[in-house]
Structure 1
Amino acid sequence: MARLHLLIRPEHILFPALLALSSTALAVPVTDNLDVGGAIRARFDHDPDRDIDKAGFDTLMLRATYTSDTWIGAARYRFYGKHYPYQYTDRIGDVAFAEYAWVGYRFDADRQVQVGLNQIPFGLQPFFGSTFFETLGNVVGLEDVSAVGAKYIHQQDDWNLQLGVYGRPAWPGRGTSNGSTYSTVVTSADDYVPEGTRNRERQIVVGRLARSLQLGDWKSEVGVSALTSRLENKDTGNDGRRNAYALHYLGQNGPWGVQLQGGRQQMSPRNPGSDEVVTFGGYDGTFNVASRGNLYVGDLSYSFPGTFADGWISGVKVYGNYSRFDKSASGFDTSERFILGTSFSVRSFYIAVEWLNGRNDPYIGGSSYTDSLAQGGTDHWENQLYANVGYYF
């Protein structure tokens, strides 16, 4: 009842707005090939250890999609601000950035090229698991990352090849930090980051090769990915490198799903001080990441077939996801994240409820934001409850 009372307080008006939208807002088919739409989302954060009990606006997203036999394209832009965790800003839109924006050409049903801000083809796609909050792969700059360049996709029978060549990471958006992008990318540190670095990433080359196959009762995909790029240090004027590679497995057996991935990120920056960290940023913040480390991800899910409550509820899924970043530098504590959650749709609303657990995790439980992924933070498990409710139109 305390939670219900919180949601209907006057300052938390998002649910009435969502309900009003649900009867009026629809994707707009501008032509047979073009439609525009978006989403409005609310978020809920409950962490009694830090006296956090927040409910309010999360995101406004606007999108456009174009599809034809030859030409394709997509763009989505996100707006944040005013509400937790951006309560330090005055207005919605004070934090805003593009998620993706690209145009493409289909040579045929099996071959296409995308040019612009598009997702790099690395590891499990499009995410490293079933979670809404995503894994530690996201905060070390490998999961759900878009960059500016060209990507070629070729499907040949059971084989899928993707090659990407990118000039730079995502364009900066609007915010109060140097980390003003949707993707977590190499970024110059803000003043509040101790021993932060000033690198920028250029000449990014990514490749991913995957094969679909049947392993017993499991419809499976196995694949390998690799990334290399140049790190330009703004202080020394010298160039280092970023290399990463991964092996992944994706399996589906009826309602059961398994996703596994193991890989390594190896950066050799040319910092004026220590080369053991590189500063990354995104979502209006910057923080240090260990230059060298192994990333492991495991995800188990179960999707309930059919609908419930006379068709109101559909797509019910439960899942558990564990990710781990083992750092190579001496004295750097391991970072871990464990998420138990469920996602489902209630008519036009998509809902995710997750119990977040993290150790040396910059986003969970109040560990050190700037150093958890480098030297480490509190080095003990923290947890909180998170939920997101979105109306997609």
Structure 2
Amino acid sequence: MKITLLNTYSWLLSSLFLVCVISPVQAQDEPEVDVGGALRFNYNLSSWKPEQKQRGGDFGYDVFRINATGSYKGVSLNAEYRLYSQTFGGGMLKQGWFGYKFGELNELQLGLTQVPFGLQQYNSNNWFFNLGYYMGLEDDHDMGVKFIHTGEKFEYHIAFFKNAEELNFGNNSAVSFSRYSYDVAGANKEINQGNIKAVYKWGELFQSQLGFSAQYGGLYNLDKKKTGNHWGLAAHYELGFSKWNLMSEFMIVAHNPENTPGTSSEIITMAAYGAPYEVAADFNLYTFNISRDIPVSWGPVSNLKVYNDFGYMQKAESSFEDSFMNVTGILVTSGNIYTYIDYAAGYNHSWLGGNFIDDFSRGNPDAKWEARFNINIGYYF
């Protein structure tokens, strides 16, 4: 498998070079650059924070981000840099890649690009994402090269990722916790990952997309200097009808690290936003989302999107407690201002009450559902 992944990486890099040098490109005399971004503020009131409840919740800074896209002589750029508070990881590059389109349907991307796995761009409607995001399975971005074919009926992605975001470049250094995407951290590092995704699209009144995804890669252990592996399979379906949208997904995920003696192989460490936590090494993930757009004309308000997103993490280890997440909310569109009003509930969920460190691994058999009322207001420019 290792030889196959490296050969795929070499082939994709060679293809990128050849199409950039040999393929005819549309004449473009001047570079085109667009810069945008967003400023977001957040209010939250959490059931597990008694003093915060006495204050009536907290309202403060969420993130400031800059987006840049550009093109010149057929070569494109897409980048997004985010600046969170220091507590949540500070500044970080969410994505950043160079692209080249040849023909109307094919594109190569090189750099920090989205991993083609599951429903995309998001498997959720709300501000919190769905449960898979917290295991690195939604809106994940890694360092590598990706080929995309987008046809009217068929769409497929083939990618190779050398590793996740690398900031330290040390001989034996762990990954930085200051990252947007959740990745394996601690004593293990993701390396040499291959991805394949295929989607079939049909229907006009009922617009359907049925897809399958697969990924396989290595887990390099910094202590033992040996490489384990991780893999995932996913089946996903999306339906659009009038103003309704339905998304469903099923995933099987496994991690097999080469840990030192005495370290459990049933648990891996993952990190993002400046902090690590534990995740069950093997699990199934089920998600189901439904939403409806409601056009309105209330001054600047043009649309209301109501939704409910549900996620269930079924852990393979029988002594672990499963995790759940459900978010009910409304997205309010007012010109360039987008406001998410969410009621997010979690059971054994690291970001929704309980013990942050091991909710997604061992869990707590005595846990109870906790909830967070959240309003995120952003101006996107």
Report TM bin, short chain.
0.7 to 0.9
Whole-Å separation in 2 of the counterparts to 1:207 and 1:281 = 24
The answer for the alignment partner of 1:246 in structure 2 is 234
Whole-Å separation in 1 of the counterparts to 2:215 and 2:239 = 24
Whole-Å separation in 1 of the counterparts to 2:234 and 2:245 = 20
Please say if residues 113 and 150 of structure 1, whose CA atoms lie closer than 8 Å, have aligned partners that are also in contact.
yes
Among candidates 266, 271, 274, match of residue 276 of structure 1: 266
The answer for the alignment partner of 1:210 in structure 2 is 199
Question: 2:125 matched to 1:127?
Answer: no
Please report how far the alpha carbon of residue 67 of structure 1 lies from its aligned counterpart in structure 2 after TM superposition. 4.3
The answer for the alignment partner of 1:160 in structure 2 is 155
Whole-Å separation in 2 of the counterparts to 1:322 and 1:134 = 10
Please say if residues 228 and 243 of structure 1, whose CA atoms lie closer than 8 Å, have aligned partners that are also in contact.
yes
Whole-Å separation in 2 of the counterparts to 1:178 and 1:64 = 24
The answer for the alignment partner of 1:304 in structure 2 is 294
Q: Which moved more, 1:156-165 or 1:103-112?
A: 156-165
- Secondary structure of 1:304's match? strand
**Given the superposition, is the C-alpha separation of residues 69 and 299 from structure 1 closer, same or farther in structure 2, using an over 3 Å criterion?**
farther
The answer for the alignment partner of 1:384 in structure 2 is 372
Q: Output aligned runs, 1:211-360, within 5 Å.
A: 211-214=200-203, 217-272=205-260, 273-305=263-295, 307-310=296-299, 312-360=300-348
Question: 2:359 matched to 1:372?
Answer: yes
The answer for the alignment partner of 1:63 in structure 2 is 67
The answer for the alignment partner of 2:46 in structure 1 is 47
1:336 maps to a residue whose letter is F
The answer for the alignment partner of 1:361 in structure 2 is 349
Please say if residues 333 and 379 of structure 1, whose CA atoms lie closer than 8 Å, have aligned partners that are also in contact.
no
Whole-Å separation in 2 of the counterparts to 1:187 and 1:332 = 21
Please report how far the alpha carbon of residue 155 of structure 1 lies from its aligned counterpart in structure 2 after TM superposition. 2.1
Question: 2:183 matched to 1:170?
Answer: no
Please say if residues 69 and 106 of structure 1, whose CA atoms lie closer than 8 Å, have aligned partners that are also in contact.
no
Please report how far the alpha carbon of residue 75 of structure 1 lies from its aligned counterpart in structure 2 after TM superposition. 0.5
- Secondary structure of 1:139's match? helix
Please say if residues 166 and 176 of structure 2, whose CA atoms lie closer than 8 Å, have aligned partners that are also in contact.
no
The answer for the alignment partner of 1:192 in structure 2 is none
**Given the superposition, is the C-alpha separation of residues 244 and 37 from structure 1 closer, same or farther in structure 2, using an over 3 Å criterion?**
same
Whole-Å separation in 1 of the counterparts to 2:129 and 2:243 = 21
Please report how far the alpha carbon of residue 132 of structure 1 lies from its aligned counterpart in structure 2 after TM superposition. 1.6
- Secondary structure of 1:138's match? helix
Please report how far the alpha carbon of residue 164 of structure 1 lies from its aligned counterpart in structure 2 after TM superposition. 1.1
2:77 maps to a residue whose letter is G
CA offset digits 1:80-125 (Å, max 9, x no partner) = 116xxx3xx8xxxx71110001010001110000000010111000
Q: Which moved more, 1:369-378 or 1:113-122?
A: 369-378
CA offset digits 1:202-257 (Å, max 9, x no partner) = 00111110010128x42100000011110011122221110001000000010111
Question: 2:142 matched to 1:138?
Answer: no
1:208 maps to a residue whose letter is K
CA offset digits 1:337-374 (Å, max 9, x no partner) = 0000110221221110100000000001x211110110
**Given the superposition, is the C-alpha separation of residues 67 and 319 from structure 1 closer, same or farther in structure 2, using an over 3 Å criterion?**
farther
Whole-Å separation in 2 of the counterparts to 1:102 and 1:230 = 23
- Secondary structure of 1:371's match? coil
The answer for the alignment partner of 1:182 in structure 2 is 180
- Secondary structure of 2:283's match? strand
* Percent identity of paired positions between Structure 1 and Structure 2: 27
The answer for the alignment partner of 1:34 in structure 2 is 33
Please say if residues 97 and 172 of structure 1, whose CA atoms lie closer than 8 Å, have aligned partners that are also in contact.
no
**Given the superposition, is the C-alpha separation of residues 342 and 67 from structure 1 closer, same or farther in structure 2, using an over 3 Å criterion?**
farther
Whole-Å separation in 1 of the counterparts to 2:46 and 2:209 = 38
Please report how far the alpha carbon of residue 179 of structure 1 lies from its aligned counterpart in structure 2 after TM superposition. 1.5
CA offset digits 1:294-315 (Å, max 9, x no partner) = 000000101113x4214x1123
Q: Output aligned runs, 1:53-132, within 5 Å.
A: 53-67=57-71, 70-81=74-85, 86=87, 95-132=90-127
Please say if residues 233 and 252 of structure 2, whose CA atoms lie closer than 8 Å, have aligned partners that are also in contact.
yes
Whole-Å separation in 1 of the counterparts to 2:182 and 2:271 = 5
Whole-Å separation in 1 of the counterparts to 2:150 and 2:343 = 37
2:331 maps to a residue whose letter is S
Please report how far the alpha carbon of residue 68 of structure 1 lies from its aligned counterpart in structure 2 after TM superposition. 6.3
1:367 maps to a residue whose letter is G
The answer for the alignment partner of 2:189 in structure 1 is 200
Please say if residues 47 and 371 of structure 2, whose CA atoms lie closer than 8 Å, have aligned partners that are also in contact.
no
1:228 maps to a residue whose letter is Y
Q: Which runs of at least 4 in structure 1 moved beyond 6 Å after TM superposition?
A: none
Whole-Å separation in 2 of the counterparts to 1:245 and 1:69 = 38
Please say if residues 330 and 341 of structure 2, whose CA atoms lie closer than 8 Å, have aligned partners that are also in contact.
yes
Query: How many residues of Structure 1 are paired with residues of Structure 2 in the alignment?
Result: 338
CA offset digits 1:35-64 (Å, max 9, x no partner) = 112111101111244132110111010111
- Secondary structure of 2:203's match? strand
